[in-house]
Structure 1
């Protein structure tokens, strides 16, 4: 090997070691970042025109990857995010409504109403028992009103969160477009794009939290992003994701769908509906779970109105009309076995029986809220208890409920109300268990990916020692060549 070749070998080695030192330092700096993937210097041999080895050169920067694990993490993150958003809403309902052992549940208030009516039936002449029964009825109506407000507030909150999520999706897609362009151009020009790849992977992972996605790799590092149902979110440019928020909700309000370039990805009209991600969990909460629970509350309200309705006592063939419990459609009775959306938020105590509104509690005992034809206690007996006992019989009677409430269509009112609480608690427990399992999947997958692509500080420090030894060897070679050249020059003088 000539001295000039030896010098070039040493110089190329020093340059390579300098790059390796910079990359090792970069790895150490990024060791604590979950978004960072370990980098490595790719070296190749330099061969002279005569076929001799001319040292080494840096041919590129490598990046540790594992596509199957990364795709599994993206998918698991989407599912977990969907379950988390859904559970938050269900837990809010369950925490406020409680169960049959808590005074906050409609079933518990119904139980208190039955007890108060039983006490009133045993002493129909007692104004104290009458007032207690009226107060229990008020509490029952208020509980249904409050539960309805809660359900609709949860729907409105979910709608607001969907709006924020859509805004975040559009922002992430814009970032993805910038990074993807940088990566494609970098690949074409031979620039180091490893940091941009890290950033793009992190953007995709963040995007998967909002909506389920799949990706397709193309030439020069280009990618295409689809929803998990196959709708294109990104291809060279970001697609527009749109949503119109509905600020106020009631039981009849229909939530708006989410669109990608005009194509619905949620709602009844969606041909390719998404299956995971935060907006999936929020739409299921807003458009399914809360609507079902609202339907159950409305059916409890309808059962109460039916149980306390007045029947014509004059044999005149007059229709049944609302009694103790009324609503905006009073005095007509809601259709039996058919849903009346929002009835639980509309139910209230009839003013004619409420002393605070100028009424009298005697009408609970005697009947006649709708006039003389509906009076049960025609003799005006102070100890008349038949009408009150009739309430209790109706509360214990089996009645028909709308199947859209997803509970038994034939049940007593108490049985239906209790099953409603059970349905909500079962939904909460199921969602909690699913999220717990999925969280473990995300954590284990992230750990496995980190073991493959992450940075090991010990390995990097060992590498730095190797680089230092290589640097010393190259420096020593240069020093030796320099001395040999000095000796050669001295010999020819």
Structure 2
């Protein structure tokens, strides 16, 4: 090897060690940064024309990656966020059941009403007990009104959160577009693009929190993003995600769909609906879970009106009419076994039995809230109990037909149906909480595994720094040796 070749080899080694030192310093500085991946210098041997080694060449900076673990993290994050939103929504709906000791569930309130009717039936001439029964009936109607507002409030909150999520998705897609442009240009020019790739991965991870995604890396370093259902979110440029919020929610109100580049990805018209991510959890809550629970409350209200309805006592064959409980469509009784959307929000006490509205407490015992033909105790006997006993039986023993589309047994007693509704909600909460716990563990373990593979180990970096220091010293000695040889050569020709 000539002295000039040796000198070039030593110089290239010194330059490479300098870049390696800077890269290790960069790793140490970024060790605690979220999403930072370990960087390493790619080196290759320079071969001279004679076929001998002529030093080292820096081919670029590489980053540690594990595409399998990264894709697993994206998927686990999307599923976890979907379940988190669903669990949070179910917790809001659980405000209709509350602490069992408070007895604030519809089923518990029906139990209280039954107890007050039983007390009044024991002393049917006692006006104080009649007032207690009326008060309990008012509480029952008001509870269903209140819970309808709570459920629709939960739907409105979910709708607002959907809007915020859509805005976040568009923001992240804009960031990814900018980073993708930098990466593609840097890839073709040979620039260091590892930091931009780290930032893009972090943006993709944040995007996976909002909607389930899959990615495809192109030969030029660019990325294509699809939803978990296959709709394109990004390819060269970001697609527009659009959503029109709903101003207010009532029972029966349908929330608007989410569109990606004009393609619906939620709602009944979605051919390729998303199945994970925050958007999925929120739309499931708004359009399915909360709607089903509202329907159950509406059926409880319909069952109440039906159970307390009065029948024609004259034999004239008149239709049953609303009794103690009535509604916006009264005095007619809602069709049996058929859901009437929003009924729990409009159920109320019949004014004819409420002294505060000009009514009479005696009608609780005697009937006749629907008119003279519906009086059960025409003689007004103070000890009459048949009508009160009939109410108790109608609540507790009589099997009724409920709408089969509300997710519960369509044939049950009124109290049994109300109890089943509470059980349905609590079972959903329990299942959702268990899923959240499992998914949280999966996300944590996957993130840790990815960090162990691609992250920075400070002990390893310091060890490498010592190795580079020794290699740098060796290259420096070679430069010194060449310098002496050249000096000796110059001295010999003088």
Gaps of 5+ in 2: none
The answer (yes or no) to whether the contact 1:97–1:147 under 8 Å persists in 2 is no
1:217 CA displacement: 1.9
Instruction: After superposition, give the CA deviation of every residue in 1:433-458 in whole Å (9 maximum; x if it has no partner).
Output: 11111111111111111111111110
Q: Which residue number corresponds to residue 34 of structure 1?
A: 34
Q: Which residue number corresponds to residue 407 of structure 2?
A: 406
The answer (yes or no) to whether the contact 1:151–1:294 under 8 Å persists in 2 is yes
1:476 & 1:217 partners in 2: Cα distance?
A: 45
2:475 & 2:327 partners in 1: Cα distance?
A: 92
Q: Which residue number corresponds to residue 289 of structure 2?
A: 289
Alpha-carbon RMSD across the aligned residues, in angstroms, is 1.3
Give SS of 2:182's match: helix
Against the structure 1 CA distance between its residues 74 and 193, is the aligned structure 2 distance closer, same or farther, given a 3 Å change threshold?
same
1:377 CA displacement: 1.3
Q: Which residue number corresponds to residue 121 of structure 2?
A: 121
1:362 & 1:250 partners in 2: Cα distance?
A: 36
1:49 CA displacement: 2.9
Q: Which residue number corresponds to residue 428 of structure 2?
A: 427
Q: Which residue number corresponds to residue 177 of structure 1?
A: 177
Against the structure 1 CA distance between its residues 63 and 56, is the aligned structure 2 distance closer, same or farther, given a 3 Å change threshold?
same
1:492 & 1:244 partners in 2: Cα distance?
A: 89
More off after superposition, 48-57 vs 29-38: 48-57
Q: Which residue number corresponds to residue 194 of structure 1?
A: 194
Give SS of 1:220's match: coil
1:245 CA displacement: 0.4
More off after superposition, 478-487 vs 388-397: 478-487
Q: Which residue number corresponds to residue 84 of structure 1?
A: 84
Length-normalised TM-score, structure 2: 0.98
- Name segments (4+ residues, structure 1) moved above 4 Å: none
The answer (yes or no) to whether the contact 1:39–1:61 under 8 Å persists in 2 is yes
1:119 & 1:87 partners in 2: Cα distance?
A: 40
Against the structure 1 CA distance between its residues 100 and 302, is the aligned structure 2 distance closer, same or farther, given a 3 Å change threshold?
farther
Give SS of 2:305's match: helix
The answer (yes or no) to whether the contact 1:101–1:108 under 8 Å persists in 2 is no
1:153 & 1:95 partners in 2: Cα distance?
A: 12
The answer (yes or no) to whether the contact 1:99–1:421 under 8 Å persists in 2 is no
1:356 CA displacement: 2.1
Q: Which residue number corresponds to residue 4 of structure 2?
A: 4
Length-normalised TM-score, structure 1: 0.98
1:395 & 1:364 partners in 2: Cα distance?
A: 15
1:47 CA displacement: 2.3
Q: Which residue number corresponds to residue 203 of structure 2?
A: 203
1:317 CA displacement: 2.1
1:343 CA displacement: 0.4
Give SS of 1:72's match: helix
Gaps of 5+ in 1: none
1:249 counterpart = 2:275: no
Q: Which residue number corresponds to residue 465 of structure 1?
A: 466
2:15 & 2:131 partners in 1: Cα distance?
A: 94
Give SS of 2:460's match: helix
1:183 CA displacement: 1.1
Aligned counterparts, 1:132-151, within 5 A: 132-151=132-151
Instruction: After superposition, give the CA deviation of every residue in 1:170-199 in whole Å (9 maximum; x if it has no partner).
Output: 111111111111111111111111111111
Q: Which residue number corresponds to residue 330 of structure 1?
A: 330
Against the structure 1 CA distance between its residues 273 and 235, is the aligned structure 2 distance closer, same or farther, given a 3 Å change threshold?
same
Give SS of 1:40's match: strand
1:335 & 1:355 partners in 2: Cα distance?
A: 29
1:50 & 1:230 partners in 2: Cα distance?
A: 55
1:432 CA displacement: 0.7
1:438 counterpart = 2:439: yes
Give SS of 2:220's match: helix
Q: Which residue number corresponds to residue 486 of structure 2?
A: 485
The answer (yes or no) to whether the contact 2:96–2:106 under 8 Å persists in 1 is no
Aligned counterparts, 1:35-434, within 5 A: 35-98=35-98, 101-396=101-396, 397-434=398-435
1:371 CA displacement: 1.8
